[in-house]
């Protein structure tokens, strides 16, 4: 039987469950892998692309949704719930319905920026990932403060890319979550607005759902460890941060990060999320998918 392949997600839970034997206790034959969208050290590529574009940031249209179109080589992976919702509706896997997670997220600007409040971001490029969590959550966060046509997005690539763009002065504003949130916060960037960042698991066809449940039982124990004393585990962030960012910060000062909620991703969550995405025309009609909860969402028997 093939190993159960786990994509880590820039968070602590998988590393704790691995280190403390929780996966093994559940009888899971597994291996950890890291998804390049979060961890790839793209500094040289970043320098080359920005130089070619005349010291500006070219739009990067390869985001979280596109990784599911190509296929992630994992038995379980995670992405923002908007993307997993739409990808599952298009048969790129099934959204795991027995848990979801939430992560700290916000829109940040340089310390010396004249931007002080959300309304100041009208017409300003906010750097986000294309059809990735930062794309959707930035719209959600800014809509109470301005009209939709005043929200201006620049598709700057993955989370680490957007940190690079803030550090280099090429991003007047950027949305970051999780450990990148802690990086820019510690480096003195100013948060203009908190935003909601909800995450869901994706299970490809053919994966044993009993194994998925074992995986989440192990993560539940890890979550309890984090809730009791996250400071004991922040060193695991070093496994996920690109070296160029790790040397700038002290991960001992980081917070607990993403928190897994062991409650169902129910029909209302699924349908209201799909409707919100479709109303804003983030996907063309041919990629809207069937939108059938029973087909898109997986539960173990």
**What does the alpha-carbon distance between residue 206 and residue 251 come to, in Å, rounded to a whole number?**
38
pLDDT given for residue 1 in this prediction: 59
Q: Which of these ranges, 48-57, 248-257, 282-291, has the smallest mean pLDDT?
A: 48-57
pLDDT given for residue 49 in this prediction: 61
Per-residue pLDDT, averaged over 82-89, amounts to 97
Q: Which long-range contacts (CB under 8 A, 24 or more apart) does 233-238 make?
A: 233/12, 233/15, 233/16, 234/12, 236/12, 236/15, 236/16, 236/19, 237/12, 237/179, 237/182
pLDDT given for residue 264 in this prediction: 97
**What does the alpha-carbon distance between residue 28 and residue 214 come to, in Å, rounded to a whole number?**
7
Per-residue pLDDT, averaged over 87-100, amounts to 97
Q: What residues pair up with 4 in beta bridges, in sequence order?
A: 30
pLDDT classification of 286: cutoffs 50, 70, 90:
confident
pLDDT given for residue 39 in this prediction: 44
Kindly tell me the burial class for residue 50, based on how many C-beta atoms sit within 10 Å of its own C-beta (0-12, 13-18, 19 or more): middle
pLDDT given for residue 48 in this prediction: 58
pLDDT given for residue 174 in this prediction: 98
Q: Which of these ranges, 48-52, 126-130, 280-284, has the smallest mean pLDDT?
A: 48-52
Euclidean distance between the first and the last CA atom of the chain, given in angstroms as a whole number: 21
Q: What residues pair up with 31 in beta bridges, in sequence order?
A: 5
**What does the alpha-carbon distance between residue 299 and residue 240 come to, in Å, rounded to a whole number?**
29
Residue of 52, 35, 95 whose CA lies nearest to 289: 95
pLDDT given for residue 288 in this prediction: 85
Task: Supply the range of the domain harboring residue 172.
Answer: 4-298
Q: Read off the CATH number of the domain in which 195 is found.
A: 3.40.190.10
What angle do the packed helices 81-89 and 133-142 form, to 10 degrees? 120
285 vs 93 pLDDT, higher one: 93
Per-residue pLDDT, averaged over 79-98, amounts to 97
Distance, C-alpha 223 to centroid of its chain: 18
Per-residue pLDDT, averaged over 228-233, amounts to 98
pLDDT classification of 287: cutoffs 50, 70, 90:
confident
pLDDT given for residue 47 in this prediction: 56
**What does the alpha-carbon distance between residue 37 and residue 202 come to, in Å, rounded to a whole number?**
15
Q: What does the DSSP 8-state code read for residue 76?
A: B
pLDDT given for residue 85 in this prediction: 97
Counts for the chain of helices (H) and strands (E), in that order: 13, 13
pLDDT per residue as tens digits for the range 13-51: 999 999 999 999 999 999 999 865 544 444 456 555 655
Torsion of CA 87, 88, 94, 100, to 10 degrees: 80
Angle at 249 between CA 169 and CA 35, to 5 degrees: 80
Angle at 214 between CA 262 and CA 91, to 5 degrees: 75
Q: What residues pair up with 7 in beta bridges, in sequence order?
A: 33
Domain count, the chain: 1
**What does the alpha-carbon distance between residue 254 and residue 248 come to, in Å, rounded to a whole number?**
13
pLDDT given for residue 122 in this prediction: 98
**What does the alpha-carbon distance between residue 301 and residue 299 come to, in Å, rounded to a whole number?**
6
CB 184 within 8 A of CB 176: yes
pLDDT per residue as tens digits for the range 134-189: 999 999 999 999 999 999 999 999 999 999 999 999 999 999 999 999 999 999 99
Query: Among residues of the chain, what percentage have pLDDT more than 70?
Result: 93
pLDDT given for residue 175 in this prediction: 98
Query: Which helix H or strand E contains 109, and what residues bound it?
Result: strand 105-109
What does pLDDT average to over the chain? 93
Per-residue pLDDT, averaged over 200-219, amounts to 97
């Amino acid at each position: 039987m093939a190993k159960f392949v786990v994509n880590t997600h820039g968070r602590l839970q998988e590393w704790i469950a691995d280190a403390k034997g929780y996966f093994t206790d559940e009888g899971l034959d597994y291996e950890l892998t890291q998804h390049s969208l979060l961890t790839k050290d793209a500094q040289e590529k970043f320098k080359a692309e920005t130089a070619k574009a005349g010291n500006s940031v070219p739009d990067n249209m390869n985001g979280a949704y596109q990784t599911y179109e190509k296929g992630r080589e994992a038995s379980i992976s995670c992405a923002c719930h908007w993307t997993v919702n739409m990808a599952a509706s298009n048969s790129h896997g099934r959204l795991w319905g027995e848990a979801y997670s939430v992560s700290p997220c916000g829109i940040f600007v340089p310390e010396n920026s004249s931007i002080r409040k959300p309304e100041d971001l009208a017409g300003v490029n906010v750097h986000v990932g294309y059809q990735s969590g930062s794309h959707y959550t930035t719209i959600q966060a800014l809509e109470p403060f301005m009209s939709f046509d005043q929200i201006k997005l620049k598709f700057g690539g993955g989370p680490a890319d957007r940190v690079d763009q803030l550090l280099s002065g090429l991003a007047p504003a950027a949305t970051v979550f999780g450990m990148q949130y802690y990086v820019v916060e510690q480096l003195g960037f100013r948060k203009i607005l908190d935003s909601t960042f909800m995450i869901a698991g994706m299970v490809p066809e053919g994966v044993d759902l009993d194994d998925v449940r074992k995986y989440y039982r192990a993560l539940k124990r890890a979550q309890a460890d984090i809730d009791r004393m996250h400071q004991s585990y922040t060193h695991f962030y070093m496994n996920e941060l690109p070296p160029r960012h790790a040397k700038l910060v002290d991960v001992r000062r980081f917070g607990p990060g993403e928190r897994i909620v062991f409650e169902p991703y129910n029909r209302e969550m699924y349908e209201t999320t799909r409707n919100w995405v479709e109303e804003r025309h983030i996907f063309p009609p041919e990629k809207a998918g069937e939108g059938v909860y029973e087909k898109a969402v997986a539960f173990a028997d």
